[in-house]
Structure formats: structure tokens, C-alpha cells
């Protein structure tokens, strides 16, 4: 699976959009981009995934660049409960393992 | 839906003792995963079951660790004998393995402390 690079930490004001970047320059054509998050003392939680097209669900939006070498997870209106570690994971569709890196620690402040 | 259920939530034991962690996957899911999380190594996959059969156990640290899935609704991870370096949070996750892009749903974890 392709390696991902994320900033170790980010801050965001409550109510503002949180934009979390992920670099996956070695991604191959059959690899999906997944985002999970882990709130303190809880298990990881699935957020969203995509292959080529931008995706949106009730939690977030995923923007994937045309060359697929990077992506951005957008939380449109961050709340204090969105404070968590966010993991960007690249995985082949036929694979099963989720290789969690160090992720980005997002702090949402009042 | 109750989600993935793990027990116990916390376990404190002494070095050399046997420890058994339990997991009940989401009903209808056919794949189950055991992960371990430590500060040093982050989240790492230990073993993966599909239709109750172990498919990949390459992440199991050593022979002291064993995992079973006797039926679709129950799995155990056993450590015997336990050592202080086994202290970690152990997560169980399940998924319905249709297209392999299905998401994994994680349980709340078991925090294990080996003294």
C-alpha cells in the first residue's frame, strides 16, 4: 500500500471548516483513499473514502486531486467533538488491512 | 445495532498470567480483525479472520499470542503468559466483506496493563 504523509497537528476554531491534507504521491490506480478518526479513548471511526471523484457524506467531504497524489478531508463546520486524531489511509480495493500511520491530531477550539 | 462489543474494557494482570480478550462482531459481518495500539508502534493489525477462518496472522507478535473464532459471533485473543510489554489497547473490528472496500467498524477496545 502507498505511504501517506500528514501534518502531525492542526488547530481549527469551532464553527469553521477544518481542512486536513494528506499526501500520497505513490498511490497506484487501484488504491482507495480512506479517512478514519480516533477520538480519545475510543476505537477508530470510519469517515469517508474515495477512488477518483470527490465524495461527500453526512460527516465530511473528500477532495482528491486530479493526479490523485494528494487529498483533503473537509469538516465543514467543526465542533469541539471533532477533536481527534485523523488518519489518511491508502489501500487497494481488494485488500483488507488498514495501515494506520501517525495521523493528524486536530484540536478544535472554542 | 449494538456495534462491536469487547470485554473486558479494562484488564490489569500480573506478568505470567493468562489473559483472554473477547469480541462480538456486528451481526451479519463475516470478517473480523484484532488490532493493538501502543504509543510506540501506533495501531497495528494482529490477525484477520474471514468466515471464521484465520487468513493472515502475520502480525501476531509471537507464540504467546493466539486467536480463535469458533463461530460468526465470537472471537477471543489470548496471551499466555503475559508480559509487561504486552500492555496496550486491543481493538476488535468487523466488516461485511463484499467488495473489500467495505469499512471496518471498531469496538471500544480493551486496555490491558501487565504489571
Each residue's pLDDT tens digit, B3-26: 999 999 999 999 999 999 999 999
B70 touches chain A (CB under 8 A): no
Q: For chains A and B, count residue pairs whose Cβ atoms are closer than 8 Å.
A: 49
Among all residues of chain B, which has the CA nearest to that of A50? B101
Contacts of A98 in chain B (CB under 8 A): 43, 45, 104
Which pLDDT score is estimated for B99?
59
Q: Residue A16 pLDDT more than 90?
A: yes
What's the pLDDT tens digit per position in A84-107?
A: 999 999 987 656 778 888 999 999
What's the pLDDT tens digit per position in B11-67?
A: 999 999 999 999 999 999 999 999 999 999 999 999 999 999 999 999 998 899 999
Q: What does the DSSP 8-state code read for residue A77?
A: T
How far does the CA of residue A37 sit from the closest CA of chain B (Å)? 11
Which pLDDT score is estimated for A106?
98
Q: Taking Cα atoms as reference points, which of A45, A83, A81 lies closest to residue B107? A: A45
CB contact under 8 A, A43 and B106: yes
Which pLDDT score is estimated for B2?
80
Using CB atoms, which residue from B42, B105, B108 is nearest to A42? B108
Which pLDDT score is estimated for A110?
95
Q: Using the Cα atoms of residue A94, residue B39, residue A3 and residue A54 in order, give the sign of their dihedral.
A: positive
What's the pLDDT tens digit per position in A42-70?
A: 999 999 999 998 999 999 999 999 999 99
Which pLDDT score is estimated for B96?
85
C-alpha pair distances (Å), A51 with each of A15, A60, B96: 28, 16, 19
CB contact under 8 A, B45 and A32: no
B42 touches chain A (CB under 8 A): yes
How far does the CA of residue A25 sit from the closest CA of chain B (Å)? 21
Question: Which residue of B30, B104, B109 to mutate against A (max A Cβ within 10 Å)?
Answer: B104
Query: Does residue A29 have a cis bond before it (omega within 30 degrees)?
Result: no
Mean pLDDT of B79-94: 96
How far does the CA of residue A13 sit from the closest CA of chain B (Å)? 27
For residue B100, name the pLDDT band (cuts at 50, 70, 90). Answer: low
C-alpha pair distances (Å), B26 with each of A45, A97, B3, B109: 14, 18, 5, 15
Amino acid at each position: 500500500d502507498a505511504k501517506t504523509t500528514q501534518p502531525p497537528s492542526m488547530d481549527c476554531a469551532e464553527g469553521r471548516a477544518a481542512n486536513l491534507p494528506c499526501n500520497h504521491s505513490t498511490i497506484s490506480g487501484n488504491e482507495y483513499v480512506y479517512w478514519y478518526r480516533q477520538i480519545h479513548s475510543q476505537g477508530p471511526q470510519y469517515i469517508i473514502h474515495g477512488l477518483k471523484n470527490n465524495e461527500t457524506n453526512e460527516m465530511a467531504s473528500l477532495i482528491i486531486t486530479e493526479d490523485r497524489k494528494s487529498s483533503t478531508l473537509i469538516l465543514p463546520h467543526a465542533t469541539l467533538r471533532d477533536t481527534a486524531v485523523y488518519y489518511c489511509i491508502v489501500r487497494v480495493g481488494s485488500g483488507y488491512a488498514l495501515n494506520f500511520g501517525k495521523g493528524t491530531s486536530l484540536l478544535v477550539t472554542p | 445495532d449494538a456495534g462491536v462489543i469487547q470485554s473486558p474494557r479494562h484488564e490489569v494482570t500480573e506478568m505470567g498470567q493468562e489473559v483472554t480478550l473477547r469480541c462480538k462482531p456486528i451481526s451479519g459481518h463475516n470478517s473480523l480483525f484484532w488490532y493493538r495500539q501502543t504509543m510506540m508502534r501506533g495501531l497495528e493489525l494482529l490477525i484477520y479472520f474471514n468466515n471464521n477462518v484465520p487468513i493472515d496472522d502475520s502480525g501476531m507478535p509471537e507464540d504467546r499470542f493466539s486467536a480463535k473464532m469458533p463461530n460468526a459471533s465470537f472471537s477471543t485473543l489470548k496471551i499466555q503468559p503475559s508480559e509487561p510489554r504486552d500492555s496496550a489497547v486491543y481493538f476488535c473490528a468487523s466488516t461485511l466483506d463484499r467488495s473489500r472496500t467495505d469499512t471496518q467498524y471498531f469496538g471500544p477496545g480493551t486496555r490491558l496493563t501487565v504489571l
